[in-house]
Amino acid sequence: MKLSILASVALASVAVASSAAAQPKTPNSCFWTHDLRNHTVGGDHILYFNVGGRDVYKVETTGSCLAGMTSSDPIVLRDRASTGQICNKLDLDISVRGAPCIVSSLTKLTPDEAAALPRRIKP
């Protein structure tokens, strides 16, 4: 009897773990490259992306690839997975003036965080 209860609990925990692993990423944690509307420069290491006119993502880079860049300067952005979907920092390949930027973080800002951005750097 105890063995069957233990086996049932073990099977239930495996089922829960496998269903959690099978869950797709939440749609709010990813965006499509075709939804990018604008970008602004927040400093030598920070870009802000306007996604679909409703979300703001903050991209932090290492090094000084953004030094001297203005928001009107073009950037080259490619998704590494070639799906058009960006879900984490490893999906981004950014270049400025031909120099690659190493992305150290990608964060979706909350509506309050996006509203608190200074006017000059709101994307």
Q: Which two tokens stand for residue 13?
A: 């925990």
Spell out the domain ranges in the chain.
27-121
Q: Which two tokens stand for residue 18?
A: 């496998």
Amino acid at 70: T
Q: What number of CA atoms fall less than 13 Å from residue 42's CA on the CB side?
A: 20
- The whole-model pTM stands at 0.74
Tell me the per-residue pLDDT of 55-112, one tens digit each, with 9 for 90 and over.
999 999 998 888 888 888 888 888 787 788 999 999 998 998 888 899 999 999 999 9
